[in-house]
Amino acid sequence: MATFQKLTPRSEDYSKWYNELVVKADLAEQSAVRGCMVIKPYGYAIWETIQAELDRRFKEQGVHNAYFPLLIPKSFLSREAEHVEGFAKECAVVTHHRLMNDPEGKGVVVDPNAKLEEELIIRPTSETIIWSTYKNWISSYRDLPILCNQWCNVMRWEMRTRLFLRTAEFLWQEGHTAHATKEEAEDYARSMLDVYADFAENVMAIPVVRGVKSPNERFAGALNTYCIEAMMQDGKALQAGTSHFLGQNFAKSFDVQFLSKENKYEYVWATSWGVSTRLMGALIMTHSDDNGLVLPPALAPVQVVIVPIFKKSEDLARLMEHLSPLADRLKQMGIRVKVDTADNATPGYKFADYELKGVPVRLAMGGRDLENNTIEIARRDTLTKETISLEGIEDKIVALLAEIQKNCYQKALDYRIAKTRECNSYEEFKEEIKKGGFLLCHWDGTPETEEKIKAETKATIRCIPLEALPGYKEEPGQCMVTGKPSAKRVVFAIAY
Amino acid sequence: MATFQKLTPRSEDYSKWYNELVVKADLAEQSAVRGCMVIKPYGYAIWETIQAELDRRFKEQGVHNAYFPLLIPKSFLSREAEHVEGFAKECAVVTHHRLMNDPEGKGVVVDPNAKLEEELIIRPTSETIIWSTYKNWISSYRDLPILCNQWCNVMRWEMRTRLFLRTAEFLWQEGHTAHATKEEAEDYARSMLDVYADFAENVMAIPVVRGVKSPNERFAGALNTYCIEAMMQDGKALQAGTSHFLGQNFAKSFDVQFLSKENKYEYVWATSWGVSTRLMGALIMTHSDDNGLVLPPALAPVQVVIVPIFKKSEDLARLMEHLSPLADRLKQMGIRVKVDTADNATPGYKFADYELKGVPVRLAMGGRDLENNTIEIARRDTLTKETISLEGIEDKIVALLAEIQKNCYQKALDYRIAKTRECNSYEEFKEEIKKGGFLLCHWDGTPETEEKIKAETKATIRCIPLEALPGYKEEPGQCMVTGKPSAKRVVFAIAY
């Protein structure tokens, strides 16, 4: 029987721990194509739940799904000047549309006669192709708002990739809305941030700071970028979702005007907003430990695993008389249950494997339990276990799953609070930033100061928070670098 | 107010009717990228229901979803010799990974220094990349079977495209399974065909003939291709889904072996199976009429539309006192309902628009109905309407939706039966095939005869049916062209 290989502890090498965990827990792996990952069934099951939870929330906001082309004409990218600066450079370029048999007999080669007139780019994001489409959909204020989202793959030719966190191809959703007024568009961008924050906190159990990006960190082509920022267990920040107010930039680039109620032609106002498979990285790095994944129950593909402890098949049969009906009752209650009756792994191996996979609740029952009408119940988040009566166990499990969900969130929030502090001088900042976490500092609002700090410390402004962080007050002050006035503190951190 | 533009009648130009309907019913449209479509929200909502229904059925078969890379190294395509013949030629080729600012200041150009060492192909189908991955997942019989599916986009550089039916990029699902034995793989390929047939008949209301492809029409690299074939209203055949038994071809090309229970290394057995957004074309061409879409209720984004008939806002308010609670009750029963209170279109315009969109049931209520406690109920499939009491209307609607679903299927089946006939001589065949429909003929089983028939009549063998079509018996005979022996009749048709 296989022996269980432990992960590199987080304290030894956090980055190595992450890479090992993603692969060993069967979430994802590198593919034969540089920088592109394979999302394995267990990882994809988590992503499907993320999709379902988000999709339901989007639809509650009036959003409809649609699908726009994978390929974008090269010329579209240069239409919006700032956008091309931010995006167009590192991307996959389609130049030909045919292969042919190699005249020298060595497999296939690109057919030089099948060169495209205009090269096509695999979408790094879809504002350009979508606004070229919206032009045909919008003529009057009666056509607005348009609230579309698509779930799709996108590609950015990243040089250094890491599974989920930074891959050349990744999966995401991108919402693109069109509005008649500036106010409506701004409100919509802001309200989608709340949808993301609600999802992050209540489903992923990841506490987030809601804020706006400084101009340096804004999306290419946006007038304002709202974001949610999370803190990972190594004290680094991870941007978990963004929602952009795009003003009339794309409407102007693609000439999308509408006839207003007042019978005047006006350019349409836009938002876009997205989250990606990067959330999988955030999920892993927020909750997991040296034994493996820790999954909040809301996202766990298996919420409860039941392991009968047996040697002979008669023993198993007797255990299953209790365990099968229990599993059925839990399933009827909407709980995702697995019963593991495999005889090719020891209970110890199974326990370690389900810990690695982050199954929130493990039930184990052996011969003595059978005599006593008891069962062992173990929770993944605290690694504690106890033996309890089988009587009324279903309700206890429901309550325990809710408690684990809450505990995952609280633990992450406690960690973030402990690693968040104010910092009032740049000298202090340079020392403190080495310890990680969020530093709340005054900043004079200029790109120059932000760039200087980034160059000297690698720290960036993660966001200008919409409201003071718990335990802190919003107050004016002086920039820690230049001494110039600052309206409120912003969040600095080293980021993924 | 807008006036309603009628569709070109089917009898006048079926192809034009189809193209107009797809666009006018807001299902899809051409994009700025040659051959690539935009799937609009209304069309995508239908596709989402197709996905959900299929996905549930796949999961009942033990299938897990996963995700594999969009791009495939060029060399992978030449590994499986037959596969490359069938697929590799017309495809989108990525040759570079960077753009740069045009030195002459004209937008962006491809950076010549960013040429890839090996070109990458946008997946036309994923057998090669998936089997290169399975190699790492499989070592023992204990790792088998692997039952994976992915929902994704694929690309085949088609020269002549039509919305949904043939587009360069399309959406689909592709299942790829790995098995320890030939029998298990063959059974699995066969069972997925039944899943597709069940879905086509019970959800899409499209009757299908289950069969196997002749060697000429087999998937590139398959030992056997199972298919479901449907008949469109113009008498042409449309292949609605395929399931392939791939033998050990891909396992051998990518060297995927496993240690069997008998402790011997053996190559793994494979299947693959898929359906695509082409199903949207089949759906449209099976049920719709000159007034627009006809949707089976199981797939209709809006199953019941409620239209209050009013002039003044007080009238609307009084009508809504009845209609709002009715809509709520229907929603609670799981019915997809829309109430249209817009004041910028006449009832007549609305009625025509919901007919165009294929909404199965329309309820309309005006002042006289209010007095009489009645409502007008219209069904889309038969274009009939009646005025009935509001009392107990919910149950009537549930029954009516079931009846419409059944009627859509029966109507399509009756049409197919009427357009299916036996044909015993090649002379007769050449005349009959011009009238469309399925011709049941004896064939000698050789590719030569099939090719001759195709060259002379454009007809192909749609399938060798697994069982005799309703009303026909399976019987041996002589090939209509060569007179050689034939075990049973096969289905010939002109195909989409």
Rounded CA-CA distance A206/A408 in Å is: 8
Q: Which residues of B touch A72 (CB under 8 A)?
A: 33
User: In this model, does residue A325 exceed pLDDT 90?
Assistant: yes
Q: Which residues of A touch B48 (CB under 8 A)?
A: 65
Rounded CA-CA distance A457/A450 in Å is: 10
Mean predicted confidence (pLDDT) in A153-158 = 94
What is the ipTM score, two decimals?
Answer: 0.96
According to DSSP, residue B303 is labeled S
Q: Do B33 and A72 touch (CB under 8 A)?
A: yes
With an 8 Å Cβ cutoff, is B132 touching chain A? yes
Rounded CA-CA distance B85/A102 in Å is: 13
Which chain A residue has its CA at the smallest distance from B71's CA?
A: A33
Element (H, E) at A247: strand A237-247
pLDDT in tens, A167-182: 999 999 999 999 999 9
Which chain B residue has its CA at the smallest distance from A152's CA?
A: B152
The first and second tokens of residue B129, run together, are 């990349």
Q: Is B276 exposed, middle or buried (0-12, 13-18, 19+ CB in 10 A)?
A: buried
Which chain B residue has its CA at the smallest distance from A108's CA?
A: B78
Q: Is the full-model pTM beyond 0.90?
A: yes
Rounded CA-CA distance B496/B236 in Å is: 7
User: In this model, does residue A141 exceed pLDDT 50?
Assistant: yes
Rounded CA-CA distance A150/A144 in Å is: 18
With an 8 Å Cβ cutoff, is A151 touching chain B? no
pLDDT in tens, B117-139: 999 999 999 999 999 999 999 99
Per-residue pLDDT at A2: 54
Q: Which residues of A touch B122 (CB under 8 A)?
A: 70, 94, 122
pLDDT in tens, A462-474: 999 999 999 999 9
Per-residue pLDDT at A1: 44
Number of H helices, E strands in chain A: 14, 27
Rounded CA-CA distance B64/A50 in Å is: 16
With an 8 Å Cβ cutoff, is A29 touching chain B? yes
Element (H, E) at A87: helix A81-87
Which chain A residue has its CA at the smallest distance from B87's CA?
A: A99
Per-residue pLDDT at B314: 95
pLDDT in tens, A212-234: 999 988 988 899 999 999 999 99
Q: List domains and CATH numbers for chain A.
A: 14-71+124-287 (3.30.930.10), 302-402 (3.40.50.800), 420-493 (3.30.110.30)
Q: Do A93 and B74 touch (CB under 8 A)?
A: no
User: In this model, does residue A89 exceed pLDDT 90?
Assistant: no
Residue B140, strand partner residues? B259
Q: Do A69 and B152 touch (CB under 8 A)?
A: no
Cβ within 8 Å of residue B176, ≥6 positions away: B126, B127, B130, B131, B134, B146, B148, B149, B270, B271, B272
Per-residue pLDDT at A80: 75
**Cis bond upstream, residue B69 (ω within 30):** no
Per-residue pLDDT at A88: 64
Q: What angle do CA B461, B462, B467 make, to 5 degrees?
A: 105
Q: What is the DSSP string of B413-432?
A: HHHHHHTEEE--SHHHHHHH
Q: Which residues of A touch B66 (CB under 8 A)?
A: 38-41, 44
Longest dimension (CA), chain A: 82
Per-residue pLDDT at A159: 84
Rounded CA-CA distance A137/A251 in Å is: 12
The first and second tokens of residue B81, run together, are 């010799």
Rounded CA-CA distance B475/A59 in Å is: 55
Q: Do A71 and B33 touch (CB under 8 A)?
A: yes
User: In this model, does residue A66 exceed pLDDT 70?
Assistant: yes
Which chain B residue has its CA at the smallest distance from A39's CA?
A: B67
Rounded CA-CA distance B73/B252 in Å is: 18
Collapsed DSSP state (helix, strand, coil) of residue B322: helix
* Below-50 pLDDT ranges, chain B: 1
**Cis bond upstream, residue B296 (ω within 30):** no
Per-residue pLDDT at B228: 98
The first and second tokens of residue A198, run together, are 């609600």
Q: Do A76 and B32 touch (CB under 8 A)?
A: yes
Rounded CA-CA distance A369/A390 in Å is: 9
CB A469 within 8 A of CB A420: yes
Q: Between β-strands A361-365 and A374-379, what pairing exists: parallel, antiparallel or unpaired?
A: antiparallel
Per-residue pLDDT at B1: 44
The first and second tokens of residue A407, run together, are 């505990």
Residue among B234, B147, B232, B252 at smallest CA distance from B189: B147
Q: Do B69 and A133 touch (CB under 8 A)?
A: no
**Block residue for tokens 């089988």:** A390
Q: Do B89 and A99 touch (CB under 8 A)?
A: yes
The per-residue pLDDT of chain A, averaged, comes to 96
Within 269-288 of B, beta carbons closer than 8 Å to A belong to none
Mean predicted confidence (pLDDT) in A206-216 = 96
